[in-house]
């Protein structure tokens, strides 16, 4: 597609339920990022995928969070046993190449707004 | 510790006025600095990218400056419009795939 697509755009879930958030990056982009943004806060890095390399999961806040990227394209972020503090906007971003000093722009999706009640 | 600090945290100006947003960073190694605009409820959109060798770059009414010696950047908005109301986020690329984000400046333009 023309841009990074995320779904669902809004999700309200009960505490303890599992949720899956989907990201379709820009076609051909090899790098994919997940970020979390709590209300009024900056972006918090969660996980990074680059091609077929092992992902950098260092930003995932707990083992309830996991993500995968199938076929080097679509990515799914899964949150198990959701807690109220998981309520945030989950932003996906992609970029075309990942070389130091490349200056490639990161393109963000519109985000998935998660509310845990 | 890699950090990006932005000021002011929030700003209110009248339509037609100019404003300048500041970004100070301590990122090493430093590759480039980006300014993003984030409308309420939307994802961030890139305004400009500056490498360490660039001092000034303009994008319409937006002009970004970079001083790599003092590790400061500014985003100047000229003749502000109501549609400029948004959060402006400064992001540093450290030469790896990690991007360090500032917490943003929330700008409100009033009619």
pLDDT in tens, A18-37: 999 999 999 888 889 999 98
CB contact under 8 A, A105 and B34: yes
CB nearest A105 (choices: B41, B49, B89): B49
Q: How far apart are CA B51 and CA A97, in angstroms?
A: 17
Other CB atoms within 10 Å distance of the CB of residue A42:
18
Could you tell me which of B36, B88, B34 has the C-alpha nearest to residue B66?
A: B34
User: What is residue A100's predicted lDDT score, i.e. its pLDDT?
Assistant: 38
User: What is residue A103's predicted lDDT score, i.e. its pLDDT?
Assistant: 52
Per-residue pLDDT reduced to its tens digit, B78-91: 999 999 999 999 99
Higher-confidence residue of A39 and A3: namely A3
Q: How far apart are CA B75 and CA B88, in angstroms?
A: 9
Per-residue pLDDT reduced to its tens digit, A74-116: 999 999 999 999 999 999 999 875 443 345 678 899 999 999 9
CA distance A61 to chain B (A): 16
CB contact under 8 A, A45 and B99: yes
H/E stretch holding B23 reads strand B19-26
A-chain CB neighbours of B93 within 8 Å are 103
Q: Where are the beta strands (DSSP E) in B27-71?
A: 32-38, 45-51, 56-59, 62-67
CB nearest B95 (choices: A31, A101, A109): A101
Is A48 in the B-facing interface, judged by CB distances under 8 Å? yes
CB contact under 8 A, B46 and A50: no
B-chain CB neighbours of A93 within 8 Å are 43
User: What is residue B97's predicted lDDT score, i.e. its pLDDT?
Assistant: 67
Q: Please, what are the averages of pLDDT over each run of 10 residues along chain B (111 residues)?
A: 90 97 92 88 84 88 94 96 95 78 92 95
Q: Where are the beta strands (DSSP E) in A25-111?
A: 31-37, 43-50, 65-69, 75-79, 88-95, 107-108
């Amino acid at each position: 597609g023309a841009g990074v697509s995320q779904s669902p755009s809004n999700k309200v879930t009960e505490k303890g339920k599992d949720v899956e958030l989907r990201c379709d990056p820009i076609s051909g982009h090899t790098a994919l990022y997940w970020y979390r943004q709590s209300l009024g806060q900056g972006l918090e890095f969660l996980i990074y995928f680059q091609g077929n390399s092992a992902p950098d999961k260092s930003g995932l806040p707990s083992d309830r969070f996991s993500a995968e990227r199938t076929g080097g394209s679509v990515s799914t972020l899964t949150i198990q046993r959701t807690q109220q503090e998981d309520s945030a906007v989950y932003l996906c971003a992609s970029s075309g190449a990942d070389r130091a000093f490349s200056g490639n722009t990161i393109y963000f999706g519109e985000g998935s707004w998660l509310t845990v009640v | 510790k890699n950090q990006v600090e932005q000021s002011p945290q929030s700003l209110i100006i009248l339509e037609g006025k100019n404003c300048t947003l500041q970004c100070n960073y301590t990122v090493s190694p430093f590759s480039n600095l980006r300014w993003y605009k984030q409308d309420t409820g939307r994802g961030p959109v890139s305004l400009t990218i500056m490498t360490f060798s660039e001092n000034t770059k303009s994008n319409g009414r937006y002009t970004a400056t970079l001083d790599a010696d003092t590790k400061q950047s500014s985003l100047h908005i000229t003749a502000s419009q109501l549609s400029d109301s948004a959060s402006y986020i400064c992001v540093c690329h450290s030469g790896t795939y990690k991007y360090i984000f500032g917490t943003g400046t929330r700008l409100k333009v009033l009619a």
